[in-house]
Amino acid sequence: MTGTSVRRFVAGLATTAIVLSACSSSTPSSAPASQAAPASQAPVASVPASVPASQAASAPASQAASGGVTAVVIPKQINNPYFDVAFKGAQKAAADLGGTVTQVGPSAADATQQVPFIQTATTQGVGAIIISADDATAVAPALKAAMQAGIKVVGYDSSPAVGAYNVFVNQADTAGIGKGLANMACDLAPSCTGEIAVLSAAQSATNQNAWIAAMQTTMKDAKYSKLVWDGVVYGNDDPQVSTQQAQALLQAHPNLKVIVAPTTVGIVAAAQVVRAAKKTGSVFVTGLGTPKGMVDYVKGGESPEFALWNVTDLGYLAYAVAAQLAAGTIKGTEGETFTVPSLNNGQPYTIGKDSVVVLGPPFVFNKDNIDQYVASFGF
Ligand code: RAM
């Protein structure tokens, strides 16, 4: 990862980011200075200039809910470490706010299997359902029924259909992630030239599909004209299927230069496959992964750069939003603002179009910073 490319990733985010900062107070204060505010991330470490300076001080932001809520978290699947990290964040928020949270869900990333969990939570009369949707529309009727029963629904990570949630907590700006993925592929392909392929999660995943679409939009720019799109394959966030799909990519495309895996499961599988196939240095892997899962492949050269957000903070914010909805301090209406004291440097979040709140820009990891992120994030 070059400093320039980090800046390009961030610049892509900055042009479309809503109001948020990359820094949250949950980043340990003991983090090395170079990690806490790497120069390349400085542009996203403060409230963008487009936000009036007066807003932070004068916005009628509701304060954090005085109490918690009884919430159920339904991830895409329960055996994906990414969601365990997010759940830890939700647990911390529940402890801080005085509520409770449990996590239930299918063992495969399959929306039809999420529906019974939504229905059970509805029957139980929980205060809130916090869900990462395997398929936006498949879960919508059950979520709407929950909302009609008075349950607050918060989407996080992968959005249910608009109208089937009160607030969706997006981990980062979608267009910015797409642009970042395109830029990392461009960085890693020699002279931004050659074949690239995407190893995604489930074919129905709202988040991955939106990021891939945004990536393709970015790649219409002349700068990417020498990148050849070999298509998208789906590993279902299953390590074995992802491995098979990565192997199939190498076989089908002998001249492949970059595998872009916007999934924490897929990116590890792809890096392992590249190493096992002795393609290190000729095929590169990038996308979205956890620092801990990818540190070996960053140092080994299979994946010189990739990105992710603070997943703990994502879970924390999702629970905090659920608590505020339950307390009635927010309704999920566009333009509402609220604060979560331990996130976003205490600055307000603003609910945007389609009731979406954005956590903040992601971080880009490379050999120079990954050890610091592993230490500070702990995932
Ligand atoms: C996987 C899941 C999740 C996604 C991350 C990047 O763990 O598909 O939805 O946000 O990757």
DSSP letter string, 286-318? EEB--HHHHHHHHHHTS-S-EEE--HHHHHHHH
pLDDT for the residue numbered 93 = 98
Give the nearest ligand 1 atom to 264 CA: 11
Decide: 243 in ligand 1 pocket, CB within 6 A. no
Mean pLDDT check: name the lowest of 7-11, 17-21, 99-103, 307-311. Answer: 17-21
Q: Is a pLDDT exceeding 90 seen at residue 55?
A: no
pLDDT for the residue numbered 328 = 97
Q: Is a pLDDT exceeding 90 seen at residue 25?
A: no
Nearest CA to ligand 1 atom 4: 263
Contact (CB, 8 A) for 123 and 93: no
222 part of a folded domain: yes
Decide: 134 in ligand 1 pocket, CB within 6 A. no
Q: Is a pLDDT exceeding 80 seen at residue 118?
A: yes
Decide: 169 in ligand 1 pocket, CB within 6 A. no
Q: Phi and psi at residue 308, in whole multiples of 5°?
A: -170, 170
Mean pLDDT of 151-165: 98
Q: How far is the CA of 372 from the centre of ligand 1 (A)?
A: 22
Computed over every residue of the chain, the mean pLDDT equals 86
- Indicate the helix (H) or strand (E) that contains 57: helix 53-58
- State both tokens at 191: 């002279």
Residue with tokens 């990519």: 249
Are residues 296 and 278 part of one domain? yes
213 part of a folded domain: yes
Decide: 379 in ligand 1 pocket, CB within 6 A. no
378 part of a folded domain: no
Decide: 76 in ligand 1 pocket, CB within 6 A. yes
* Burial degree of 53 (CB within 10 A; 0-12, 13-18, 19+): exposed
pLDDT for the residue numbered 66 = 53
Are residues 92 and 167 part of one domain? yes
pLDDT for the residue numbered 67 = 79
* Burial degree of 4 (CB within 10 A; 0-12, 13-18, 19+): exposed
Are residues 123 and 39 part of one domain? yes
Nearest CA to ligand 1 atom 8: 263
Q: Is a pLDDT exceeding 50 seen at residue 19?
A: no
Are residues 291 and 194 part of one domain? yes
Q: How far is the CA of 82 from the centre of ligand 1 (A)?
A: 7
Q: How far is the CA of 208 from the centre of ligand 1 (A)?
A: 8
Degrees, nearest 5: CA angle 324-360-175? 115
Give the nearest ligand 1 atom to 262 CA: 6
Are residues 137 and 260 part of one domain? no
Higher pLDDT, 258 or 54: 258
Strand 167-170 relative to strand 194-200: parallel, antiparallel, unpaired? unpaired
pLDDT for the residue numbered 41 = 26
Give the nearest ligand 1 atom to 287 CA: 6
Nearest CA to ligand 1 atom 6: 263
Mean pLDDT check: name the lowest of 1-5, 103-107, 149-153, 219-223. Answer: 1-5
Mean pLDDT of 256-271: 98
Q: Is a pLDDT exceeding 80 seen at residue 5?
A: no
379 part of a folded domain: no
Q: Is a pLDDT exceeding 80 seen at residue 38?
A: no
- In the chain, the number of structural domains is 2
**Boundary (domain end) residue, out of 277, 308, 339:** 308
Mean pLDDT of 58-64: 36
Distance CA 266, CA 273 (A): 10
Averaging pLDDT over each range in 2-6, 29-33, 66-70, 200-204, which range is the top one? 200-204
Q: How far is the CA of 315 from the centre of ligand 1 (A)?
A: 13
Nearest CA to ligand 1 atom 10: 157
Q: In the chain, pLDDT over 70 holds for what percent of residues?
A: 83
Decide: 82 in ligand 1 pocket, CB within 6 A. yes
Are residues 293 and 187 part of one domain? yes
Q: In the chain, pLDDT over 90 holds for what percent of residues?
A: 82
Decide: 157 in ligand 1 pocket, CB within 6 A. yes
262 part of a folded domain: yes
80 part of a folded domain: yes
Decide: 238 in ligand 1 pocket, CB within 6 A. no
* Burial degree of 323 (CB within 10 A; 0-12, 13-18, 19+): buried
**Residues 167, 175, 172, 247, CA torsion sign:** positive
Decide: 297 in ligand 1 pocket, CB within 6 A. no
Are residues 110 and 63 part of one domain? yes
Give the nearest ligand 1 atom to 237 CA: 8
Decide: 264 in ligand 1 pocket, CB within 6 A. yes
Are residues 199 and 248 part of one domain? yes
1 part of a folded domain: no
Distance CA 90, CA 279 (A): 39
Count CA atoms within 13 Å of residue 367 on its CB side.
11
Are residues 346 and 255 part of one domain? no
Choose the residue to mutate in 110, 114, 135, 157 for probing ligand 1, maximizing ligand atoms within 8 Å of C-beta. 157
Strand positions, DSSP E, the chain = 70-74, 100-103, 128-131, 152-156, 167-170, 194-200, 227-234, 256-261, 284-287, 306-308, 337-338, 349-350, 356-358, 363-365
Are residues 143 and 26 part of one domain? yes
**Boundary (domain end) residue, out of 265, 281, 308:** 308
Mean pLDDT of 210-219: 98
Decide: 206 in ligand 1 pocket, CB within 6 A. no
Are residues 234 and 136 part of one domain? no
Contacts of 29 (CB under 8 A, 6+ apart): none
Contact (CB, 8 A) for 314 and 156: yes
Q: Is a pLDDT exceeding 90 seen at residue 23?
A: no
Distance CA 125, CA 112 (A): 21
pLDDT for the residue numbered 269 = 98
Mean pLDDT check: name the lowest of 65-74, 114-123, 310-319. Answer: 65-74
CATH number of 328's domain: 3.40.50.2300
Distance CA 53, CA 176 (A): 23
Decide: 265 in ligand 1 pocket, CB within 6 A. yes
* Burial degree of 291 (CB within 10 A; 0-12, 13-18, 19+): buried
91 part of a folded domain: yes
Q: Is a pLDDT exceeding 80 seen at residue 163?
A: yes
Contacts of 177 (CB under 8 A, 6+ apart): 13, 211, 214, 262, 288, 307, 362
Are residues 217 and 137 part of one domain? no
Distance CA 150, CA 141 (A): 15
DSSP labels, 82-105: HHHHHHHHHHHHHHHHT-EEEE--
Q: Which domain holds residue 137?
A: 6-172+310-372
Give the nearest ligand 1 atom to 158 CA: 9
Q: Is a pLDDT exceeding 80 seen at residue 2?
A: no
Mean pLDDT of 229-246: 98
The Cα-based distances of 310 to 8, 72, 181, 220 in angstroms read 20, 21, 17, 30
**Boundary (domain end) residue, out of 284, 308, 332:** 308
| Residue pLDDT, tens place only, 362-378 | 999 999 999 999 999 99
Q: Is a pLDDT exceeding 70 seen at residue 27?
A: no
Mean pLDDT of 14-35: 30
